[in-house]
Chains A and B, each alone.
Chain A
Amino acid sequence: MLDNMETEKPSPPAGTNPAPGLSDPERWVDEHGDYLFKFALLRLRDPARAEDAVQETFLAALKGGKSFAGRSAEKSWLVGILKNKIIDHFRKSSRETCFTDLEFYGDEESDRFIGDGLGKGGWIHELGPQEWANAGESLDNELFWKTYRDCAVKLPKNVAAVFNLREVDGMASKEICTVLNISESNLWVMLHRARMALRRCLETNWFGKQT
């Protein structure tokens, strides 16, 4: 092993091209392509568009020509570029199509609330939120994340876009409204319904099945 290491070519001195640590762009595709594709697909919901976004990301990275000591730094750099590409796409498409969706879950689980009389609008106890046992431990379980993803994928496209930007990427509400060209009150309604639907889906398909 040691012999092998000694015979390896020394890395080129700093300042020459290629810079030390700057990886071969074709290796980027093999190493980060799948991750970036999944990242884009979760947010864009369109395989062709996701592929385009990945390609644009690599091209922008090539022009940026930065060098990195570690692979994880390289990955987050690429993810950062991709995030901006996705936001650019949303900004452009919000000029053509309306992102507001007030249809989805319009009844806001009214079947789980008392409809009339005394206690109107209260949770029907058997149908109210159940105790989630060992919620923290679920976070380390791959299957939990598959269930989370499956539930998120059931949200309609525009509701999912809003949910991902706000909850997954942590973007500020005002910024989301500017990018997607929607009003704040409509954003809140969409987020409320997304959270409600996701909570219910995970309760049914994950927490309700844990013993």
Chain B
Amino acid sequence: MNFWNNLKSGCANLSPNCQDASRAQSEALDHPLPPTKKAGLWLHLRICKWCRRYGHQIRFLRTAAHEHHDELTEAAPYQLSPEARERIKQKLSSEK
């Protein structure tokens, strides 16, 4: 029983559909995939331009955020309120 189950999941890993492949491409950014999953994804990407694009785009989003974290932080339309600014200054001068 175990053998057949393993064989079944092995075959599914070797021919993932796009939904599985998008999950696998994301997981590959966080940990090394098991060999059958990796091989299945590789095969799938040879024939599927949509998933190649998907993988490319999620990697782009990661690199962009990581390398431009300053721009991402600066994009927030907020600033320290005058009250908070004053409170922090007072706290700092009392601790000096």
Q: Which A residues form the contact surface with B (CB < 8 A)?
A: 25-26, 28-30, 33-35, 37-39, 41-42, 47, 51, 54-55, 58-59, 62, 108, 110, 113, 119-123, 125, 128-132, 135, 139, 142, 145-146, 148-149, 152, 166-170, 173, 184, 187-188, 191-192, 195-196, 198-199, 202-203
Contacts and interface: CB of A to CB of B under 8 A. Distances in A.
Contacts of B72: 42, 145, 148-149, 152, 168
A149 B77 CA distance: 10
Nearest to A184: B31
A58 B54 CA distance: 42
Interface of B: 17-20, 22-23, 26-27, 29-31, 50-51, 53-54, 57-58, 60-62, 64-66, 68-69, 71-76, 78-81, 84-85, 87-89, 91-93, 95-96
Contact of B71 (A26, A130, A145, A198): A145
A33 B26 contact: no
Contacts of B50: 122-123, 125, 128-129
Nearest to B84: A51
6 contacts: A37-B79, A38-B73, A41-B78, A55-B91, A195-B61, A195-B62
Interface of A is mostly: helix
A139 B89 contact: no
Contacts of A28: 92
B62 to A, nearest CB: 5
Contacts of A173: 30-31
Q: Which 4 A-B pairs have the closest CB atoms?
A: A121-B17, A192-B26, A128-B50, A145-B75
Contact of B19 (A110, A129, A167, A195): A110
A105 to B, nearest CB: 12
A113 B92 CA distance: 56
A42 B77 CA distance: 11
B54 to A, nearest CB: 5
Contacts of B65: 148, 167-168
Most A C-beta atoms less than 10 A away, residue of B20, B27, B65, B78? B65
B57 A132 contact: yes
B31 to A, nearest CB: 6
B79 A148 contact: no
A113 B61 contact: no
Contact of B18 (A29, A123, A169, A203): A123
Given A29-B85, A62-B95, A128-B50, A195 B75 contact: no
